Amino acid sequence: MTNIVVVGMQWGDEGKGKIVDLLCPAFDVVARYQGGHNAGHTVRFGDSHFSLRLIPSGILHPEVQCVLGNGMVIDPAAFAEEVAKLAEAGVSADGRLFVSERAQVIFPEHAALDLLREAAAGSGKIGTTGRGIGPAYETKVGRSGLRVCDLGASDVEERLRTLLVRLESESTALGGAGGGHPVRVADQCRAWAEQLAPYRADTAELLQDAARAGKRIMLEGAQGSMLDVDHGTYPFVTSSSATAGGACIGSGLPPSAIGGVLGVLKAYTTRVGGGPLPTEDTGEAGEYLRKRGNEFGTVTGRPRRCGWLDLVAARYSQALNGVDAVALTKLDVLDGFAEIPVCVGYRYRGELLRRFPAEGRALAEAKPEYQALPGWRKSTVGMLDYDELPQAARDYVAFVEDRLEVPMALVSTGPRREETILRDGPPLRRLVGDRLPVPPR
């Protein structure tokens, strides 16, 4: 088995971008399967740094093909902007970037509605990025959305009439302006169709053919498992299936073609936007994590909520995704603490919960039950060998490994691609094969 899913095990921003980027040399194709330009990956190598929102970080590797799968929602203007930004930096996407003709299109009217809803929701805000992702998924499921292949079709105006009427009725009810006129928007659609033509493909077939030809595919999840529309902290979730199971639906690769799952877990917890976060620390420790971990949104610049590692959530996520091995990221951010609390259960109405509850209210009320682990108070930044880590840091990794019952095959000690400990052995080899990338040193 050669194809894997890389999935965030928390509330997103686990550092998936860096891990995917690091593993690219072991893969031929990198595909995204859900979300849109709300994702935001930051990849650093040497002195360069790249923020990608829509296109997989695989694009920075000239030998890798990149796919935006059918499960995604695509804002054509954002796509063009990102391709142009890459070209400016000397990265060519020509002939190796493919957009599914079945992917949904985000219209400016979707984004306008997103913003109106958030403004109207007051304290019940989900904290969306306001880019129209949620409304675009709604119209997809409501069967009034347009896909990439519909943009240049002869009935585009007719299709738009249905879509725009739906969006407009809610927008005007919330005090917004009316949507675009179908004739004008249809012209825009035809322009987008032309602009997307060089990239448009039946990407499910492309991926299936690649798998049959023995090419190796990495399916890159966006956001995190706790934001999955079914399994996450509903309704404070994203509108797509961010867990590993979503990879098949959103790419068109059958489950039998997937050989393994790499979970990306940050050594502590962060979350953007509203919703319960049991281990949030609103005091000094949280502030320290935010500053040292640079926990500000890639897309929006919003400060992220920070707290301790939540192993109840991580175990839930491990089971949901069938994680084979974990990439533990940002261990270096914990360097300064004398003691590091780790959540091993929730206290809820006098009861000790070890499983992750479905009800948001229970989660909001639950008090974390912490086990304090000794800190190391030494810099681990940029360490490359596991044995080089202070004993307490190794104990921390071993504790997480033991509680999750999954090997920590990679440990990340800095934002740069090369600042990673690769723990060579069967768990890592199983996922990356024998083309194990040796980080440039």
Q: Which residues bind ligand GDP (CB under 6 A)?
A: 8, 12-18, 40-42, 44, 294, 298, 329-330, 332-333, 412-415
Residue type at position 295? E
Nearer to ligand GDP, 53 or 159 (CB): 53
Nearer to ligand GDP, 69 or 180 (CB): 69
Token pair for 45: 């190598």
Enumerate residues 6+ apart whose C-beta is below 8 A from 22: 410, 417, 420, 437, 439
Residue type at position 414? G
- For the bound state, the minimum distance from the C-beta of residue 61 to ligand GDP, rounded and expressed in Å, comes to 16
Residue in the structure block whose two tokens are 């000094």? 284
- For the bound state, the minimum distance from the C-beta of residue 19 to ligand GDP, rounded and expressed in Å, comes to 8
- For the bound state, the minimum distance from the C-beta of residue 221 to ligand GDP, rounded and expressed in Å, comes to 9
Bond before 427 cis per omega within 30 degrees: no
Token pair for 49: 């740094």
Nearer to ligand GDP, 14 or 310 (CB): 14
Pick the catalytic residue from 21, 28, 37, 41: 41
Residue in the structure block whose two tokens are 């499910």? 204
- For the bound state, the minimum distance from the C-beta of residue 415 to ligand GDP, rounded and expressed in Å, comes to 3
- The CA dihedral of 392, 397, 403, 404, to the nearest 10 degrees, is 170
Enumerate residues 6+ apart whose C-beta is below 8 A from 158: none
Nearer to ligand GDP, 12 or 176 (CB): 12
- For the bound state, the minimum distance from the C-beta of residue 160 to ligand GDP, rounded and expressed in Å, comes to 33
Token pair for 241: 């299936």
- Round to whole Å and give the CA distance between 33 and 247: 6
- Please calculate the CA angle 11-80-33 and round it to the nearest 5 degrees: 35
Nearer to ligand GDP, 189 or 400 (CB): 400
Maximum alpha-carbon separation in the chain: 67
41 is catalytic: yes
Pick the catalytic residue from 13, 21, 150, 332: 13
49 is catalytic: no
Residue in the structure block whose two tokens are 């990102």? 82
Q: Which sequence positions are flagged as catalytic?
A: 13, 41
